[in-house]
Chains A and B, each alone.
Chain A
Amino acid sequence: MITHAAHEMASAMQAGEITSVELTQAHLDRISAVDSQVHAFLHVDTEGALSQAKSVDDARARGEKVGPLAGVPLALKDVMVQKGIPTTAGSKILEGWRPPYDATVVSKMKSAGIVILGKTNMDEFAMGSSTENSAYGPTHNPWDLTRIPGGSGGGSSASLAAFQAPLAIGTDTGGSIRQPAAVTGTVGVKPTYGGVSRYGLIAFSSSLDQAGPCARTVLDAALLHEVIAGHDIHDATSIDAPVPQVVQAARSGDVKGMKIGVVKELNGDGYQAGVRSRFEESLELLAKAGAEIVEVSCPNFEYALAAYYLIAPSECSSNLARFDAMRYGIRVGDEDGASAESVMNLTREVGFGREVKRRIILGTYALSSGYFDAYYGSAQKVRTLIMQDFNSAFGKADVLVSPTCPTTAFKIGEKANDPLAMYLNDIATIPVNMAGIGGMSLPCGLAPEDGLPVGFQVMAPAMQDQRMYSVGAALEASLLSQWGAPLLSQIPALAGAK
């Protein structure tokens, strides 16, 4: 059962073929069996998960109407706070902290009866593309344990690929949902900015962060999307408008007459051959399904990465100032006679990792008086230009597409000492965050040269998230009929698994 899609698990529970407790236990067993190799989880809440599962089973037994995903287990990225459950955001500085409240996404999932198995590994404060920046050690890609599972949400995507959970929550600031999805052969969606509440999402870069669904099928992602989306009075940037009908779009998967724009700048040089060939084949499948493929140009995308690495560090330098040992998290150097200032300094020195410090320093510098206009100010102007590029591209096409990443999963340690090479992983995903629109990555095959998954990215205008699901579902259906079985059926078995 654990290899099935979430909606199939839900149907089986509805049909009385399996209980949520059984299903949850099966996943907990799977985690016990394989997580020593994958290291997707930072914390497993066995007791809480089983008790939530039991209450869903009880409700169903009483004949109560439950949600479409009730009783289905889920892995939660450790950047989301969950009341009473250790939450670290992959950082040592928050070691041992148990939040006193639930993120809005968490409370929505709890009311929908979703069973939260535990917290997944991530790059510290979501800063990274490989999960190697976690203070708690890297996560391994289930396709090849010597490779990265993407980042920052590598734990969430790896847990899906390793069948430890059928659903997961990720957060995406520059690609942290889509890039891990791409390199693990799973589906990940970054909704329109403001579509899902950020309340309880530990902020990295407030104007870019967005939580979203991760799953093994497009329909599963849509079902989870509808559970977590919607206006929240606790988030001033959340959109007060009806949630796009993403489930309906995923079920119909209709792209007839749809114009699909291929972004010229997000393809070609610098993209791995196998990535390009799988991407081209996918375009052909979409054309066969009735879509019209057009080419669009977004000339300002070339500045997106540079601007991103000013805006995100600037905001993070301020967002992370609160970790000062005064109210929560670890405290270092609090000895007789130590001043508050020295305790703050020592705690931050010990508590933050290298990448986080690098970005805090970068951001602090970019916001300094005298440099603000040249750095933060210019970056905001680039952001406006990127939005204009998208606007004009969406004048020519209903959705835009590109490979999600330039390459397949690289080796753990390969780029650890080369931040710039690491940052380039997100070249195709960052423009979406800069413009606040929606983006999806779904698997489109394995690169012939290395046998690793390739991701196909779909981008839709703000609040038109359903279009990504239409395209995603259409492509998924075409690929499935070509392959005969989901891509993940080709994943090598993990040692120690039943």
Chain B
Amino acid sequence: MSLTYEDVIAKYEPVLGLEVHVELNTHSKMFCGCSTIFGGEPNTQTCPVCLGMPGALPVVNEKAIESSILIGLALNCSIAPFSRFSRKNYFYPDMPKNFQISQYDEPICVNGYLDVEIDTDEGIKKFRVEIERVHMEEDTGKSLHVGGATGRIHGADYSLLDYNRAGIPLVEIVTKIVPGTGKYAPEVAKAYVAELRDILRSLGVSDVRMEQGSLRCDANVSLRLIGAETLGTRSETKNVNSLRSVERAVRGEMIRHAELLNKGERVVQETRHFQEESGLTRSGRSKEQAEDYRYFPEPDLVPVAPDAAWIETLRATLPEQPTLRRKRLQTEWSVPDKEMAAMINADALDIVEATVKLGADPTRARGWWIGESSRFAKEQGITIADLSISPTDVAQIVALVANGELTDKLARQVVEGVIAGEGAPASVIESRGLKVVSDESALMAAIERAIAAQPETAEKIRNGHIPAAGALIGAVMKETKGQADAARVRELLLGHLGQPTT
């Protein structure tokens, strides 16, 4: 008999803790010059340093320090005037030195916060998520365990090691415990990761692709009886690879914990792995016996002591916070809430803004991106940013419609052509012959031919029966193969038959 979510929240209060690992998008690794490009042939992006060869030494990537400071500033943290790297010692084959260079007791950024909003039945609700620390470390290599049932090292026939990822700069962002979210815990967790992702993207410091692992979230969840002071035992769920999964994982863990607690059993402090298909977690490594990592200051590196003036220079370059930017754009463009949500969902904000900056009307720009383009993107299974139509193309199309050189119908064909890779709007119009027939004498000739073909209809219009105009307009549009502006045809027709045109 399984509990419902309502049963859980009626009795327990969830407490969250979120750890997000972000791969920085620096060109080179954290401590050597190797490339960080994703997807290379195994072990082609390695050198003595990131392979942990005897004698090799790490040297800190300045760009990674800069990115970490930017992240800290964007999350309202204090930047430590003096921070240090430490060694986290443990043996694992995908870790070349058998220690990870990380920051331990002296991280680069501390004590920040991030405000997130969620849309609920009771309206928009705001939660403040406090950030404990932001620190730098190096990623490990990847192991591929071949054979055996579980895909884990135990029981595998053999294992393959790829060190391309070893030494990629990682930033870990750790929240303080987040109490007080109540039934909204899963949504707050998701909103936090989403907001964080948007901030990181706006800073340009990471690709933030959860599916490629450049943004990874570990969700810590514990429950306590409502009103209780002491925290319950937490589980740490790893392998949460999408925003939706963050929400599902938190919800699933809340239910699992509640079921255990209701049965009088205890929650085991452990790492759990999220299963995308089932939405459930499976048990991983127990953390009941804390592992002793024998941290000590990394003697091969000197402390990081960023110049105060440099920090201020970086602060001055911080982009507008995504939430504030969304609010501003929504007001400037007068977008209704629902449509704003659709635009955010389709990840279209940047591209619409770029189109508007090129002079396009915001409503029209939004219409093209959210309507046509997003439909094509969905068909191709890509994002609108990856379509072969650019903000410049859309801005041109909007302008052509505005000055009557294209009808909406023609414009749709132009969009389709550009997306199909037929070139810029001008060349699609040219090659497909999509120009509006704007030559008025040609239109008048077509109108006269239509009147001649349907004299009775024309007579009805002359007698003031305006709705009859539709049939004649249709005939003209047919003759011009749809390339005339229907509104203009109507004006010319009614005028010609002595009727008011408005």
* Among B48, B87, B292, B299, contact of A100 (Cβ-Cβ < 8 Å): B48
CA distance A424 to B299 in the complex (A): 25
Task: Quote the shortest CB–CB distance from A436 to chain B (angstroms).
Answer: 11
Interface residue? B468 (CB, 8 A): no
Interface residue? A296 (CB, 8 A): no
User: Cβ of A233 and Cβ of B59 under 8 Å apart?
Assistant: yes
Interface residue? B249 (CB, 8 A): no
Residues on B with C-beta less than 8 A from A67 are none
Interface segment out of the listed A48-56, A251-259, A315-323, A448-456 = A315-323
User: Cβ of A322 and Cβ of B59 under 8 Å apart?
Assistant: no
Residues on B with C-beta less than 8 A from A314 are 296
CA distance A324 to B89 in the complex (A): 14
Residues on A with C-beta less than 8 A from B53 are 81, 99-101, 327-328
Interface residue? B363 (CB, 8 A): no
Interface size class of A (residues with CB under 8 A): 35 or more
A:171-214 near B, CB below 8 Å:
198-203, 205-207
User: Cβ of B296 and Cβ of A321 under 8 Å apart?
Assistant: no
User: Cβ of B153 and Cβ of A321 under 8 Å apart?
Assistant: no
Residues on B with C-beta less than 8 A from A201 are 55
Interface residue? A308 (CB, 8 A): no
Residues on B with C-beta less than 8 A from A323 are 54
Residues on B with C-beta less than 8 A from A376 are 296
Interface residue? B52 (CB, 8 A): yes
Task: Quote the shortest CB–CB distance from A488 to chain B (angstroms).
Answer: 32
Given contacts A321-B91, A321-B98, A372-B296, contact A234 B57 (CB under 8 A): yes
User: Cβ of A237 and Cβ of B302 under 8 Å apart?
Assistant: yes
A:404-432 near B, CB below 8 Å:
none
Given contacts A322-B97, A340-B153, contact A236 B55 (CB under 8 A): no
Residue in chain A with minimal CB distance to B47: A101
User: Cβ of B54 and Cβ of A81 under 8 Å apart?
Assistant: yes
Interface residue? A87 (CB, 8 A): yes
User: Cβ of A236 and Cβ of B59 under 8 Å apart?
Assistant: yes
Residues on B with C-beta less than 8 A from A368 are 292, 294
A:71-89 near B, CB below 8 Å:
80-81, 87, 89
Interface residue? B204 (CB, 8 A): no
Residues on A with C-beta less than 8 A from B294 are 317-318, 364, 367-369, 372
User: Cβ of A80 and Cβ of B55 under 8 Å apart?
Assistant: yes
CA distance A377 to B353 in the complex (A): 55
Residues on B with C-beta less than 8 A from A94 are 54
Binding site of B, secondary structure by majority: helix, strand, loop or mixed?
Answer: loop
Most B CB contacts (10 A, CB to CB) among A94, A205, A234, A341 go to: A234
Task: Quote the shortest CB–CB distance from A362 to chain B (angstroms).
Answer: 13
User: Cβ of A322 and Cβ of B98 under 8 Å apart?
Assistant: yes
Interface residue? A487 (CB, 8 A): no
User: Cβ of A339 and Cβ of B154 under 8 Å apart?
Assistant: yes
Residues on B with C-beta less than 8 A from A341 are 91
Task: Quote the shortest CB–CB distance from B468 to chain A (angstroms).
Answer: 85
Task: Quote the shortest CB–CB distance from B207 to chain A (angstroms).
Answer: 28
B:138-171 near A, CB below 8 Å:
153-154, 159, 161
User: Cβ of A367 and Cβ of B296 under 8 Å apart?
Assistant: yes
Residues on B with C-beta less than 8 A from A233 are 59
Residue in chain A with minimal CB distance to B145: A340
User: Cβ of A207 and Cβ of B154 under 8 Å apart?
Assistant: no
B:272-321 near A, CB below 8 Å:
290, 292, 294-296, 299-302
Interface residue? A235 (CB, 8 A): yes
User: Cβ of A103 and Cβ of B55 under 8 Å apart?
Assistant: yes
Q: Interface 1/0s, chain A 254-290, versus B by CB < 8 A?
A: 0000000000000000000000000000000000000
Query: 13 other contacts beyond A202-B54, A372-B296, with CB at 8 A cut-off?
Result: A200-B56, A201-B55, A203-B54, A234-B57, A237-B299, A237-B301, A315-B299, A318-B294, A318-B296, A326-B96, A340-B159, A364-B294, A368-B292
Q: List 22 A-B contacts (CB under 8 A).
A: A81-B53, A99-B48, A198-B57, A200-B55, A207-B299, A233-B59, A236-B57, A236-B58, A236-B60, A237-B302, A317-B89, A318-B99, A322-B52, A327-B51, A328-B53, A340-B159, A344-B91, A367-B89, A369-B290, A372-B294, A372-B295, A372-B296
Q: Which B residues form the contact surface with A (CB < 8 A)?
A: 48, 51-60, 87, 89, 91, 93, 96-99, 153-154, 159, 161, 290, 292, 294-296, 299-302
